[in-house]
Amino acid sequence: MFTGLSAFPLTPFAGDTIDERAFAGLVERLAAAGVDSITALGSTGCGPYLTAEERARVTRLAVANAGGVPVHVGVSTLRTAQVLANVRNAEEAGASGILLAPMTYQPLTPDDVFELFHAVTSRTALPVIVYDNPGTTHFAFTTELYGRIAELPRIASIKIPGVAADVHDTRSRIREIRAAIPEHVSIGVSGDAMAAAGLNAGCDAWYSVIGGTLPGAALRITRAAQQGRTADALAESERLAPLWRLFGESGGSLRVVAAIAEHLGLVPTRCLPLPLQGLTEEQRSRVGEVVHELRLDAEPRG
């Protein structure tokens, strides 16, 4: 469950209400594409913007429409008690694992974060993915903290930030992390533009933003890397360079992926939860051009 491609779908809104039909369609599409797992309510799924009741409903929808594909669920929020309530809802819905990031308002210390993971792993039987996303959470894990947390029971995987473009630097970093954690804990790369480099360097999984909307493109990179076709994986990633550039030009991947899903008719227009405004009309036009240039609009719809 913690190797290969884990696809992160959007949680689409229509106005101020979750579009449950569109969300179910996204999940069904991922299952039909053959992704290795589906992770709902991560950063791409805007989990922290949802109420506890909305998150529970989305979790049930994800499991019900995944066709047996393992579903991991983001449970992150500010207070430990609220995290544990989200964990219980994930358990009751039949989730296969949980994704946990240390969310901040007041700055967190390493001991704060360790105790959060200790509290969760001592109260659930579900495997846990450690989510290191400093750009969003404003907390950066050290390798030492990876090692401390990975010794806790039920830690199954660590989702690391994007890796370096240089293959030697990347391999060195993966070896450093691998030496600090138990063998059974997988290492998953994020930062879609660097996913091919991370997989080629020894990462076990790709926790993917684009995988939740463009699973075919993400699977071609993943399968090439898994099969040892490192040059093909890099070539597939390089083919998507215009898309990666859009991520940088448009303030991150979430708004771009939402615009792609809207362009493809998979979700309503302006599908992000307020106050997130999405892209400007000029930016949306550029997204449409890139989608057409890369033939991403020809991807199977599931």
CATH of the domain at 44: 3.20.20.70
- Mean pLDDT, rounded, of the chain: 95
Which residues are CB-neighbours of 269 under 8 A, at least 6 positions away?
262
What is the residue range of 87's domain? 4-298
pTM for the structure as a whole: 0.95
Output the tens digit of pLDDT for each of the chain's 302 residues: 899 999 999 999 999 999 999 999 999 999 999 999 999 999 999 999 999 999 999 999 999 999 999 999 999 999 999 999 999 999 999 999 999 999 999 999 999 999 999 999 999 999 999 999 998 999 999 999 999 999 999 999 999 988 777 778 889 999 999 999 999 999 999 999 999 999 999 999 999 999 999 999 999 999 999 999 999 999 999 999 999 999 988 888 999 999 999 999 999 999 999 999 999 999 999 999 999 999 998 776 65
Q: Structural domain tally of the chain?
A: 1
Closest CA to 188 of 167, 166, 160: 160
Go through the chain and tell me how many residues it has.
302
Can you give the pLDDT at residue 162? 81
Q: What is the dihedral of CA 94, 96, 102, 104, to 10 degrees?
A: -40
Closest CA to 189 of 226, 147, 216, 152: 226
Buried-state track 164-200, b at ≥16 Cβ within 10 A, e below 16 = eeeeeebbebbeebeebbeeebbbbbbbbbbbbbbbb
Would you say 133 and 47 are in contact if contact means Cβ atoms under 8 Å apart? no
